[in-house]
Amino acid sequence: MFSYLRERFTSHLRERSRRRARLVSKDGRCNIEFGNVEQSRFVFLIDIWTTILDLRWRYKMTIFISAFLGSWFLFGLLWYVVAYIHKDLPEFNPSINHTPCVENINGLTSAFLFSLETQVTIGYGFRCVTEQCATAIFLLIFQSILGVIINSFMCGAILAKISRSKNRAKTITFSKNAVISKRGGKLCLLIRVANLRKSLLIGSHIYGKLLKTTITPEGETIILDQVNIEFVVDAGNENLFFISPLTIYHIIDKNSPFFHMAAETLLQQDFELVVFLDGTVEATSATCQVRTSYIPEEVLWGYRFAPIVSKTKEGKYRVDFQNFSKTVAVETPHCAFCLYNEKEAKAKEKKGYDNPGFVLSEVNETSDTKM
């Protein structure tokens, strides 16, 4: 009893550690952090546009509100200083013939309101700049130009954030599991991918990377060593007609890293299969990338995907996403090596081979029968 519980607990810890070591999550996020970066954070301010776009919405909206409120308040202080220097405020008791720099600025609050009206071009007409002060005219021009820059930058950043192709990638989904079974007489690793929108991805290209830890002949340990995995559909791996769910597959041949794996040893392997789909969004012409990953527990040996496309009586094609990740058990060789050895043995039986040691001897038969 205790040994069984200890084994289950060890298995659970192993699964948790394997999940934590996952580089790419199922929704495509990368589980990686950078430490001891020698470059200062000033380099992120140099590329301020990308930095703003990569911020989360709560930080972006905080910067958006702070930029406008801060600029309004800063120029409000400057307008108050101009009125104070020119002695336009009521506490200086200006004469009747006194012409102020800005009409109807009586304090800091009215200066803030004038700054707001100027920058957002409201122009109520109650407060206005006179031609008495060149400083006020210059400040008005400077605030108008800076206000246009702030509006363009912040509105452009929000629009770019909304229209990022990263959001389009969320409507591309992969199957929960990958399966290994025979397809066209070859052992293949299959994955199903679907486009949830009716708009297409133009120039789609799909490929994969197998991440594992390897040791070189020199004894160097390489963590997250990347091995290329080629995925194809019946028409190739480029320019996919992505109108309905597709089943992509990788042929497990002698050049495949899955060739030496078997059904019994698959769960003992330590790898992560990352699948990428690149394409161009039809509506915006922006490129996007969708990615997901599979660990050994998510690769099912001896299964295939259930059919999901059918034709209705009205002549329309219907996709049943209830069976999108559903799998069906099929008869499958337990390893690719055995499958190819079986094919070679059958080919040898069909061809036949000459035996050099075989000698045909002729025997003369004499008939002892007399008539």
Per-residue pLDDT at 371 exceeds 50: no
Instruction: Check residues 80 and 51 and name the one with the higher pLDDT.
Output: 80
Alpha helix ranges (H) inside 242-335 = none
Residue 337 to residue 66: CA distance in whole angstroms: 64
Task: Report in angstroms the alpha-carbon separations of 285 from 113, 163, 342.
Answer: 43, 11, 49
What is the number of other CB atoms lying within 10 angstroms of the CB of residue 258?
23
Please state the φ and ψ torsions of residue 120, each to the nearest 5 degrees. Answer: -95, 10
Per-residue pLDDT at 15 exceeds 70: no
The structure tokens 């049943």 sit at 320
Alpha helix ranges (H) inside the chain = 2-20, 42-46, 48-54, 57-85, 108-119, 134-162, 165-168, 336-351
The pLDDT, as a whole number, for residue 9 is: 63
The answer to whether 203 and 279 are in contact (CB under 8 A) is yes
Residue 190 to residue 175: CA distance in whole angstroms: 10
Q: pLDDT tens digits for 283-331?
A: 778 888 899 999 999 999 999 999 988 888 888 888 888 889 899 999 9
Whole-model pTM above 0.75?
A: no
Listing DSSP states for 200-255 in one string gives: PEEEEEEEEEEEEEEE-TTS-EEEEEEEEE--BBTTBSBS--TTS-EEEEEE--TT
Residue 337, both tokens = 């090596």
Strand partners, 276: 207, 291
The mean pLDDT of 8-27, rounded to a whole number, is: 66
Per-residue pLDDT at 370 exceeds 50: no
Q: Do domains 38-162 and 166-347 have the same CATH topology?
A: no
Q: pLDDT tens digits for 220-251?
A: 888 888 999 999 886 555 667 778 888 899 99
Sequence spans of domains, the chain: 38-162, 166-347
Residue 339 to residue 187: CA distance in whole angstroms: 8
Nearest to 223 by CA among 73, 32, 354: 32
The pLDDT, as a whole number, for residue 239 is: 66
Residue 139 to residue 76: CA distance in whole angstroms: 11
The structure tokens 């013939």 sit at 97
3-state secondary structure 48-98: HHHHHHHCCHHHHHHHHHHHHHHHHHHHHHHHHHHHHHCCCCHHHCCCCCC
The mean pLDDT of 212-217, rounded to a whole number, is: 85
Instruction: Check residues 262 and 346 and name the one with the higher pLDDT.
Output: 262
38-162, CATH topology level? Helix Hairpins (1.10.287)
Instruction: Check residues 127 and 42 and name the one with the higher pLDDT.
Output: 127
| Domain 166-347, CATH among 2.60.40.1400, 3.40.50.720, 3.40.190.10, 3.30.70.120 | 2.60.40.1400
Q: pLDDT tens digits for 263-292?
A: 888 888 889 999 999 888 887 788 888 999
Return all residues near 192 (Cβ < 8 A) that are at least 6 apart. Answer: 174, 175, 245, 246, 247, 248, 305, 324, 325
Kind plus residue range of the DSSP H or E element containing 316:
none
CA dihedral 248, 253, 255, 256 (to 10 degrees): 50
